[in-house]
Structures are given as structure tokens and as C-alpha cells.
């Protein structure tokens, strides 16, 4: 009986470890796309994960109306999946949005604001 109880606890421990690893993997920072569906030209994209400072500008080039910037991703581990995106345009309009970076998504700029497609 003792052997079966020990084996059962070992199986339970393995299942819990696998479940925890799966949960951790599901909460890793994901890449995202910036989609400009507005009449603005995007000049700056800054990102801030909760508990961290604002990033430098992620854009090397402007994103003109009806263009996209695909495959933006974090190069290091983040302290949190939740954060903010801040966008500034050539026309001096500014937009910001709270997002969850642990899901692949499109961050979409339209003339009257930002929204996210998960």
C-alpha cells in the first residue's frame, strides 16, 4: 500500500509540474503587429510593461497610412504581460492603449483611436 501511495504522489507531482510549465509557457511575451488604418503617419511607438520604464522608439521608419509593421517582439524577458502602448504621429496626434503582450495581436490605429485585435 505504501508503494502505491508513493507512486501516486510521484505521478501527481509530475502532472502538477507539467501543468505549471504549460501555464508559464502560455504567459510568455508574444510578437505583435502595428497596423495603420488611419490617415496619420506614425513616427513613434513606445511600449511599457507594468513595473518597467517606457521603451525607446521601436520604429526605425515611419508607418504611413494603410501600412503595417509586422513581427514586433520583445528581446528579453518581461516582468509582466500587461502594459501600455503609446503612439505619436507626424501630425502630432497621440494615442495610448492598455494591452496584454502575452497574446499575439494586432494593434490598430484608426483616425479616432487605437484598438487591439487578439
pLDDT in tens, 35-62: 999 999 999 999 998 888 999 999 999 9
The model's pTM: 0.74
* Nearest alpha-carbon partner for 85 in 112, 38, 50, 41: 50
Do 22 and 38 have their domain in common?
no
Residue 116: pLDDT over 50? yes
C-alpha cell at 84: 501600455
Query: How many domains, in total, are found in the chain?
Result: 2
Q: How many residues does the chain have?
A: 118
pLDDT of residue 75: 63
The answer to whether the beta carbons of residues 33 and 105 sit under 8 Å apart is yes
Which bin fits 36, alpha (ψ -120 to 50), beta or left (φ > 0)? beta
Compute the average pLDDT of residues 15-32. 57
Where in the sequence is the domain holding 51, given as residue range(s)? 32-117
Same domain, 110 and 92: yes
Amino acid at each position: 500500500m505504501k508503494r502505491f501511495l508513493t507512486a501516486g504522489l510521484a505521478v501527481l507531482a509530475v502532472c502538477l509540474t507539467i501543468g505549471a510549465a504549460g501555464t508559464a509557457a502560455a504567459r510568455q511575451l508574444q510578437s505583435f503587429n502595428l497596423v495603420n488604418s488611419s490617415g496619420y503617419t506614425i513616427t513613434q511607438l513606445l511600449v511599457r510593461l507594468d513595473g518597467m520604464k517606457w521603451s525607446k522608439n521601436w520604429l526605425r521608419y515611419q508607418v504611413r497610412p494603410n501600412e503595417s509593421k509586422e513581427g514586433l517582439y520583445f528581446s528579453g524577458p518581461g516582468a509582466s504581460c500587461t502594459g501600455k502602448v503609446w503612439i505619436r504621429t507626424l501630425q502630432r496626434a497621440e494615442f495610448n492603449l492598455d494591452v496584454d503582450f502575452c497574446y499575439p495581436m494586432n494593434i490598430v490605429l484608426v483616425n479616432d483611436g487605437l484598438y487591439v485585435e487578439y
